[in-house]
Amino acid sequence: MQDPLELLDIPSLLGDEERDIQATVAAYLSDHVRPHIASWFEAGILPRELAQELGKLGVLGMHLEGYGCAGTSALAYGLACLELEAVDSGIRSFVSVQGSLSMYSIWKYGSEEQKQEWLPRLAAGEAIGSFGLTEPDFGSNPSGMRTRAVRDGADWMLNGTKMWITNGGLADVATVWARTEEGVRGFLVPRGTPGFSTRDIKQKLSMRASVTSELVLEDVRLPESARLPLATSLRAPLTCLNEARFGIVFGAVGAARDSLQAALGYSGTRIQFDQPIASFQLTQRKLASMTVQLSNSMLLALHLARLKEAGTLKPEQISVGKYNNVESAIAIARESRTILGANGISLEYSPLRHANNLESVLTYEGTSDIHLLSIGHALTGIAAFR
């Protein structure tokens, strides 16, 4: 079986257009990205020119309407994320941050002038965006942020530091969230603004084919026109995060499927005791158990996509998807590695690379613990994290 999701005939649940979009993204990545991803991971790089190629493919902000965006369904976007992360979490993270954080923050909360200036360029990959919310001391509790924006005449002065920012060192514009006297507000900070600098984080063991950076703002002066006018509270960046988390729900399925496919292929050709290891009961038990986990995750992702398209998807439901699918994916990646034996630690095979990446996915955009507390809040009505 080439695709373990065929066991339950899950592809039959997709429409023709959705299948076509998924196949187009998969084919492009197979030809242009997958052959290079192991070397990019090893070198700790993500080529900037990939942005324009992904723009031509149409996946940057693909679920948004207008301004050069494709306006696809939520499910089509999810399936694209699945194929992107099947290659590497770093590729899906680039697309998620570009489309669901940077572009979405401008699309939903920006002025018409801001949309016209940035969205067409971001959709084409001619410009790259980042999203500065997390700080060195405030990850799971963004309400404690220390970055401040104060009025100075007609302008704003920003001071603070953001940490673990995907695309930070590549970005032409950063959406930066800061505390003001009126509450949390968002600002568009173009690269080259005096006082604004970035520092890429090195020596990572995870998400190596992704640029992760620190953003430093030292007396950064911005005009009022740089503020996102419709972002009036912390709810704005949290809404953006829910957009990105939706992509993770599908992306994790992609990493898990690719890991399992590697294990299936290897077990059918690796000969021990004069027979392929796929013929052994213990190996078949692993393969069967992982396929059940993968199928459950995919069915959950499809259900959440339909809820999103109906406009009824709730944050706690996204938490269920993010928690379940990432936890399942990392378990599948690790188990797949055991089937590969010693060869599994080589970059020739994907499962351990996926497992390393998923350690980051397990943490960012809400740790598993925080998502469990979100689910617990929905069940009991008690916010245990406050």
By annotation, the residues acting in catalysis are: 365
**Spatial distance between the Cα atoms of 77 and 251, rounded to a whole number of angstroms:** 10
**Spatial distance between the Cα atoms of 23 and 1, rounded to a whole number of angstroms:** 18
| Torsion angles phi and psi, residue 66, rounded to 5 | 80, 180
**Spatial distance between the Cα atoms of 74 and 153, rounded to a whole number of angstroms:** 43
The alpha carbon of 158 is separated from its chain's Cα centroid by a whole number of angstroms, namely 27
**How many alpha carbons fall within 13 Å on the CB side of residue 120?**
6
The DSSP line for 286-354 is HHHHHHHHHHHHHHHHHHHHHHHHHT---HHHHHHHHHHHHHHHHHHHHHHHHHHGGGGGSTTSSHHHH
- Which is it for the CA torsion 121, 252, 144, 229, positive or negative? positive
